[in-house]
Amino acid sequence: MADKKTLILGATPNEGRYANLAANRLVRSGHTIVNVGLREGEVAGVPIEKAETIHNDIDTITLYVGPVHQESLYNYILDTHPKRIIFNPGTENSELRRMANEKGIKTEYACTLVLLSIGQY
């Protein structure tokens, strides 16, 4: 499987959260990750950074931030210009999806953990 560099938006050091599980599963599956979140720490050996640095080499942004908190991140997400955005359960946002599609970014309402488990990531 090819490395799909993935930005995890909503990364957390809390091992009980899906974002943390996804980060670890992505790394075990051979993908490079960038953790972006509110809390300091690290996940899967990668530090968590703030949503400040625009990464220009991202294949996928996987969202673990609810729609209420996404609006302040719109520019960050769209300026990163990933190939795709995965809206994990609870993060679905038709406005952001439309904005991303208008910029040529593929979007999916899906679960990163499920996609990895069935080999469809």
Residues 22-68 pLDDT 10s: 999 999 999 999 999 998 999 999 999 999 999 999 999 999 999 99
Evaluate if residue 2 carries a pLDDT over 90.
no
Cα angle value 106/113/45 (rounded, 5°)? 100
Residues 74-94 pLDDT 10s: 999 999 999 999 999 999 999
List the CATH number of the domain containing 30. 3.40.50.720
Q: Which residues pair with 48 in a beta bridge?
A: 35
Q: Range of 14's domain?
A: 6-117
In a domain, 79, yes or no: yes
pTM for the model: 0.96
Collapsing DSSP to helix, strand or coil, 24 comes out as helix
Collapsing DSSP to helix, strand or coil, 63 comes out as strand
pLDDT at res. 1: 65
pLDDT at res. 58: 98
In a domain, 1, yes or no: no
In a domain, 107, yes or no: yes
In a domain, 25, yes or no: yes
Q: Is residue 86 within 8 Å of residue 64, measured between CB atoms?
A: no
Domains held by the chain: number: 1
